[in-house]
Amino acid sequence: MAADAPTEVPLSEVPLSEFDRDTAVTRRGPAEPGVYDADLSAGWTIISAVNGGYLLAVLGRALGDALPHSDPFSISAHYLTPSVPGPAVIRTDTVRTGRTLSTGQASLFQYAEDGTEVERIRVLASYGDLDALPDDVRTTAAPPALPPVDQCFGAGDASEGAPPVPGSSAITERLALKIDPATLGWALGRPSGKGEMRAWFELADGRDPDPLSVLLAVDALPPTAFELGLIGWVPTVELTVHVRCRPAPGPLRVSITTRNLAGGFLEEDAEVWDTKDRLVAQSRQLARVRLSQSRPVR
């Protein structure tokens, strides 16, 4: 009987953070190998939409359990239908296992009113062991030029006379996001016209970053479209993240750039840097630009 009982996937040994709690997945019994239950939290929504980076972290955690390797090296997600808070099931498939890399696939489903499963996201990913990589680094990439945290602005800073970050989304309470004022013109009605967004990123409860929270970090800033003077929703079509090293403790710096808005689509390229000035992750997403008169929030 015990062998058939669902098994909560072990989390890290630090006290359970909001992020770990809300991305937890529970393995179903051996009769359904590779299948996990999750409960998408309303705490990571923008208005009513569940954040795409949070969703990727939930899928990433399931794949890290299902595959013989635990760290996402390259994870590609295609977003199919909007997720909503509530129960979800994740079906994983081990595509290939190798000595240094394993490849897996995962889909997240939710339930329609008639009980049928609706697929929300499908993911292909290659996993490995970041700690097993050699130390060689030959990089021309440099960390983003970000002012110190106390010169950047977050959602809670309105009362201090600073430019308030608009929007009242649940996710802002989970994040200690401090945005570079140079990329905050949109909040004052004066977008820079440059497709740039930069911020210090921490989880609000102080949980240190790891490869899973990095999957959230690449999609947690306001959209660059705001600085391009656009308002409305920018739904992700596809998002690929390359995690290049395990992040050191402390705040991350996230820099997002959009160079090409054309035909109603734009790309967002993100870089994530840690406190040791290492390039932790690179990501790119293709997003649709849905123009509307709604207040610019994300």
Q: CB–CB of 165/227 below 8 Å?
A: no
Q: CB–CB of 196/227 below 8 Å?
A: yes
101 or 149: CB nearest its own copies: 101
CB of 282 to its own copies, least distance (A): 6
Task: Give the C-alpha separation, 269 to 95, whole Å.
Answer: 28
CB of 240 to its own copies, least distance (A): 5
CB of 59 to its own copies, least distance (A): 13
DSSP letter, residue 127:
E
Residues that bind its own copies (CB under 8 A): 73-74, 76, 78, 80-81, 95-96, 101, 103, 105, 119, 122-126, 130, 133-141, 194-195, 228, 237-238, 240, 242, 244-245, 259-265, 267, 278-279, 282, 284, 286
CB of 237 to its own copies, least distance (A): 5
154 or 222: CB nearest its own copies: 222
Non-local CB neighbours of 258 within 8 Å, separated by 6+ positions: 195, 196, 224, 225, 228, 266, 267, 268, 269
115 or 134: CB nearest its own copies: 134
CB of 42 to its own copies, least distance (A): 25
Q: CB–CB of 60/72 below 8 Å?
A: yes
The number of beta carbons lying within 10 Å of the beta carbon of residue 107 is 18
25 or 75: CB nearest its own copies: 75
Which pair of tokens denotes residue 16? 């359970």
9 or 288: CB nearest its own copies: 288
Which pair of tokens denotes residue 46? 């923008």
154 or 232: CB nearest its own copies: 232
CB of 193 to its own copies, least distance (A): 9
DSSP letter, residue 173:
H
Amino acid at residue number 217: A
Which pair of tokens denotes residue 170? 């649940």
Task: Give the C-alpha separation, 199 to 204, whole Å.
Answer: 14
Task: Give the C-alpha separation, 152 to 7, whole Å.
Answer: 42
CB of 186 to its own copies, least distance (A): 15
116 or 140: CB nearest its own copies: 140
